[in-house]
Amino acid sequence: MTNHKIEEVLESIWTAKEKGSSNINDIKRESKEEITVQEVDELVKSGLINTSGEKIDFTVKGEEDAKNVIRRHRLAERLLTDVLKRSVDETEETACEFEHFLAPEITQGICTLLGHPKTCPHGSTIPPGDCCLQARETVESVVIPLDRLHTGESAKVAYITTQSHPRLHKLLSFGFTPGLTIRLHQKSPTFIIECDKTQLALEKDIAKDIFVWKKEGA
Amino acid sequence: MNDKKEINILVAGGINVGKTSVCLGLARKNVYIASSASSKIRVNTEDFTYKGVRYNLFDTPGFNNLLNTSEDELKTKESLLNQRCNMIMHVANARHIMRSLITAVQLIEFDMPFILALNMMDEAEKFGNNINIQKLAKLLDVGVSPTIANEGAGIDNLRRSLINAKRSSLMVRYNPIIEKSLDKVKGILAPDIHFSRGLGILVLINDSFTIDWLRKNLDDKRFQDIMNVIASITGDVSLMVISTKTHFVKKLLAEVVHKDEIKKRPALELIGNLSTHKVYGILILGIVLTFLYLFVGKLGAELLVNFFDGTVFTNMLNPMFARALSFIPSSFVRDAFVGEYGMLTMGLRTALAILLPIIVAFYFAFSFLEDFGYMPRLSVLLNNMFRRIGLNGRAILPIILGFSCVTMATVSTRVLEERKERLITILILVLVIPCSAKLAVIVAILAPVSLIGIFIIVAVLLILMFISGFISSKIIPGASSDFIMEIFPLRIPSMKAVLFKTYRNSMFLLKEALPFFIYGSFCLFLLDKMGVLPFLDALFSPVVVDMLQLPPKFTEAYILSFFRGEAGIIILLDMAFNGQLSNIQIVVSVIVIIVSIPCMTNLLMIIKEYGLKFGLFLVMLIMPLSLLIGVLVNYVIRLLPFAL
């Protein structure tokens, strides 16, 4: 049984469980691929799941593995929709690929980049990783929308998440590219930011679309 | 290029960068007129001959970004695709050099001889941007001519450099997906259509205008091939293209532009910061408005007007005119010049003694604030308020300009990005903004009215502005544009520049208004002598006398105001002086005339810019509305427990 297949089955068990069922038939319905009796047996032997009659339950190790698969899948969805602006339907296939090969460090990187999101674009919970728990203990997430920056703080533009092309073109033509260092000068009545010795005024609506890395200690 | 005797130049560039001034300058036309009119005179073609080559200039409407799909870009795209021209002259704003160069790189991709006129160099230098022209020319591989078109500087150089215009070898490389697709498009178009990377990009972003154009110019099979190429691309082409270009230009600018350390002026910086603050900003606005009132209202409209109108005209010139013309035997002819509605005693006097001092004071104050750098801060301060009526802070500029001349302001609505915003702004301009000429007479006529009366007028107009803005923002389809604006540091205004602008703008307005004042008084004189006026008065008396409770003569003022607002109010002024109007009647009649159509020129300009249908719609809406509001105000005022 391939690694790929194991992860697919674990994923199906997780999603069925989220919907409140551990019944084998419900789990099979969640899966895109056929799940055979032999495969279930194999997972039991590997110590990932326990069965009793028609019910299937995770072992501690199995639950951990499943959580990581789900986490990679849903973070990938977030990445594709938020940063790359793909529609939710488009992302499914790519996210399914992602869930099998993302290394733990990269998963963590993506999670941090996205500001430790709590839900996927479909609204399901993204299981928190170590990075999320740490972030919650220290400060707020590192990447935040510009409107959550405090007046006087400096930050670096991470990415712009707007659906509107004219808005993006305009921001870019004002030199608003990722990597630009900015300082928030005021928030009301209109946002004013300083960058490259110039001041730019923009509305809150636009500020919400700009995600920045908050500068430590600034 | 040199062997051709005729060269057609496409003049392209952003909004308000001075394309028209450059064109007129090149054609050795009077640049002065063009720039002072805020591109009021719309030049579509100009031509001139230089060293045996005839150059035809095609002035296009300003556009923001060729990758956008709004109507402004269409004309430029159409000219580029149909190759009407064999050279591109890009007029760019040196002050916003980054945005300008992104457009330049876009235009260079259309693979035509190219010349860059970097206009507004004075503005760029004022703000501490030193641009290395030679280096820029080298990096872009095109001719670059720095100009200050409204002063005519650099235009001769630009004209000389046209002969050397060449295709640039510059090529911005995109990511492999786009490059591969560009190659495919080139292959499909190859035999019939001249391929340029600019055209290719428009195809790849699925630009509707370009696709329609291809459908007409390609056979079905090849058109389908093109559509297949477009369909095969994953990812957002326009995003990839624009970010590649932005990065390219950013890198280029780092080499070309040297920013002066702007001398720190802590006091100015503090005022600058306070003026956009939500509380102190309003306070500062209050101070600015008070000064504006003292300067324009007291100094201009009272002191200067009293001096010119009372001392110069009434006491000195008018008797002189009368004596000089006393040799004419016919009293009819004499009255035409120096009578009650005389061309000299009324026409010339009101234009020079009442209108001129006020517009000079207004333009001085306006140019001062503009040069000081205050205007963008006002946009920041009032953006939220303007949002509620479907506009953004940018609309503040045309509206303030309306206080000088509504017609000029109508033209300047072009700086607004969306048609919806332009229409709402025009509605507000026409309905509630009195131009300087009207203000001049209004200030005079309101002299006996108490502060409460003046407050009522301002309040009615403000309420009307919000209601009309709010309703039209719900009715007119379309979106409002984003508010992103660069704010430059405040600086001490250059008196020379302020005086120059004041002179230029006042002269322009005077030239426009003076003939009307003279013909207008002549027409009134004729109507008066022919006895038409009493007839008109009787015709409108049901509305005027019964509903507005105004004297029948108000009809004359109302009809005249349709041609020129202030002329109507001058009639009222005359009536008030003769004790024919009570204070309540003054307030009501002033409101009716402000709300009514500002003047004929303005209406014609609206029709020219936005079409006959919109113009007629405005007339049909505003004429009854102005009377209705007058009736309402009259009714309410008479219920108030205090006198005006």
The first and second tokens of residue B51, run together, are 């060293």
Record: contact B242-A169, CB cut-off 8 A: yes
Residue partners of A141: CB distance under 8 A and separation at least 6: A112, A115, A116, A135
Q: How confident is the model at residue B2 (pLDDT cuts 50, 70, 90)?
A: very low
Please tell me the predicted confidence (pLDDT) of residue B262.
67
CB A136 within 8 A of CB A118: no
A178-205 residue pLDDT tens: 778 899 999 989 999 998 777 899 999 8
Contacts of A195 in chain B (CB under 8 A): none
pLDDT at B247 over 50: yes
Assess B376–A contact: CB distance below 8 Å, yes or no: yes
Distance separating the N- and C-terminal Cα atoms of chain B: 74
Record: contact B482-A206, CB cut-off 8 A: yes
Contacts of A201 in chain B (CB under 8 A): 276, 376, 379-380, 383, 393, 483-487
CB B415 within 8 A of CB B16: yes
Chain B (269-328) residues lying within 8 Å, Cβ to Cβ, of chain A: 273, 276-278, 281
Closest chain B C-alpha to A217 CA, distance in angstroms: 24
Q: What is the mean pLDDT of residues B108-137?
A: 90
CB B110 within 8 A of CB B170: no
The first and second tokens of residue B638, run together, are 């008479």
Among chain A, residues having any CB pair with chain B shorter than 8 Å are 85, 164-175, 177, 185-186, 188-190, 192, 197-203, 205-206
Name the most confidently modeled range: B63-67, B209-213, B535-539, B558-562. Answer: B209-213
d(CA B428, CA B420): 13
Contacts of A189 in chain B (CB under 8 A): 276, 278, 281, 380-381, 383-384
User: One-letter amino acid identity for A104?
Assistant: P
Residue partners of B470: CB distance under 8 A and separation at least 6: B388, B389, B390
Of all residues in chain B, the one with the smallest CA distance to A191 is: B380
Query: What are the backbone angles phi and psi of residue A198, rounded to the nearest 5°?
Result: -120, 160
d(CA B355, CA B337): 19
Tallying the residues shown for chain A, one arrives at 218
Q: How confident is the model at residue B466 (pLDDT cuts 50, 70, 90)?
A: very high
Listed residue (B564, B598, B582, B559) closest to B634, CA to CA = B582
d(CA B457, CA B594): 10
Listed residue (B463, B464, B453) closest to B634, CA to CA = B453
A5-48 residue pLDDT tens: 888 899 999 999 888 888 888 888 888 888 888 888 888 998 99
Burial of B329 (0-12, 13-18, 19+ CB in 10 A): exposed
Q: Between B468 and A98, name the one with better pLDDT.
A: B468
Interface test with B, best of A190, A191, A204 (most B CBs within 10 A): A190
Q: What is the mean pLDDT of residues B425-439?
A: 90
Distance separating the N- and C-terminal Cα atoms of chain A: 52
Mean pLDDT of chain A: 84
Interface test with A, best of B126, B487, B488 (most A CBs within 10 A): B487
Number of helices and strands in chain A (H, E): 9, 8
Listed residue (A75, A195, A179) closest to A132, CA to CA = A75
Assess B484–A contact: CB distance below 8 Å, yes or no: yes
Closest chain A C-alpha to B67 CA, distance in angstroms: 9
Listed residue (B255, B47, B22, B11) closest to B121, CA to CA = B22
CB A190 within 8 A of CB A217: no
Contacts of A205 in chain B (CB under 8 A): 482
Task: Choose the closest CB to B98 out of A167, A175, A206.
Answer: A175
The string of DSSP letters for B556-585 reads: HHHHHHHHBHHHHHHHHHHHHHTT---HHH
Please tell me the predicted confidence (pLDDT) of residue B20.
77
Please report where in the chains the tokens 């501490």 appear, as a residue.
Answer: B128
A165-173 and B97-108 are packed helices; what angle lies between their axes, rounded to 10 degrees?
A: 110
Listed residue (B13, B43, B3) closest to B27, CA to CA = B43
Structural domains of chain B, ranges and CATH numbers in brackets: 6-164 (3.40.50.300), 176-259 (1.10.287.1770), 280-637 (no CATH)
CB B73 within 8 A of CB B447: no
Number of helices and strands in chain B (H, E): 32, 9
Query: What are the backbone angles phi and psi of residue A44, rounded to the nearest 5°?
Result: -65, -45
Please tell me the predicted confidence (pLDDT) of residue B595.
94
Assess B150–A contact: CB distance below 8 Å, yes or no: no
Please tell me the predicted confidence (pLDDT) of residue B39.
36
Q: What is the mean pLDDT of residues A84-101?
A: 78
Share of chain A above pLDDT 70, in %: 95
Closest chain B C-alpha to A45 CA, distance in angstroms: 43
CB A12 within 8 A of CB A27: yes
B301-340 residue pLDDT tens: 788 988 998 899 989 999 999 999 999 898 899 999 998 7
Q: How confident is the model at residue B426 (pLDDT cuts 50, 70, 90)?
A: very high
B359-391 residue pLDDT tens: 899 889 988 998 888 999 999 999 999 999 999
* Bond into B624 cis (ω within 30): no
Which helix or strand (DSSP H or E) is residue A86 part of? Answer: none
B539-574 residue pLDDT tens: 888 889 988 999 988 988 888 888 777 778 878 887
The DSSP bridge partners found for residue B280 are none
Please tell me the predicted confidence (pLDDT) of residue A139.
53
Please tell me the predicted confidence (pLDDT) of residue A137.
56
Chain B (77-106) residues lying within 8 Å, Cβ to Cβ, of chain A: 98-99, 102
Q: How confident is the model at residue B1 (pLDDT cuts 50, 70, 90)?
A: very low
Record: contact B250-A174, CB cut-off 8 A: no
User: One-letter amino acid identity for A113?
Assistant: L
How does strand A191-195 pair with strand B6-13?
unpaired
Burial of B570 (0-12, 13-18, 19+ CB in 10 A): buried
Please tell me the predicted confidence (pLDDT) of residue B34.
34
B137-185 residue pLDDT tens: 999 999 999 999 877 889 999 999 988 889 999 999 998 888 999 999 9
What ipTM did this prediction achieve?
Answer: 0.76
Task: Choose the closest CB to A189 out of B247, B273, B384.
Answer: B384
CB B579 within 8 A of CB B617: no
Assess B254–A contact: CB distance below 8 Å, yes or no: no
B13-58 residue pLDDT tens: 877 777 877 887 888 764 433 333 333 333 356 778 888 888 888 8
Contacts of B278 in chain A (CB under 8 A): 188-189
d(CA B353, CA B311): 10
Listed residue (B159, B148, B150, B154) closest to B120, CA to CA = B148
Q: Measured between alpha carbons, how far is residue B260 from residues A197, B81, B127, B134, B257 in Å?
A: 10, 41, 8, 19, 9
Please tell me the predicted confidence (pLDDT) of residue B89.
93
Record: contact A85-B481, CB cut-off 8 A: no
Contacts of B99 in chain A (CB under 8 A): 173-174
DSSP reduced 3-state for A22: coil
Record: contact A200-B381, CB cut-off 8 A: no
The first and second tokens of residue B66, run together, are 């060729």
Please tell me the predicted confidence (pLDDT) of residue A216.
61
CB B393 within 8 A of CB B293: no
Which helix or strand (DSSP H or E) is residue B320 part of? Answer: helix B318-324
How does strand B143-146 pair with strand B114-119?
parallel
Contacts of B380 in chain A (CB under 8 A): 189-190, 192, 201
pLDDT at B401 over 80: yes
DSSP reduced 3-state for A21: coil
A137-169 residue pLDDT tens: 555 557 788 998 999 999 988 888 777 777 887
Share of chain B above pLDDT 70, in %: 95
Which helix or strand (DSSP H or E) is residue B46 part of? Answer: strand B45-50
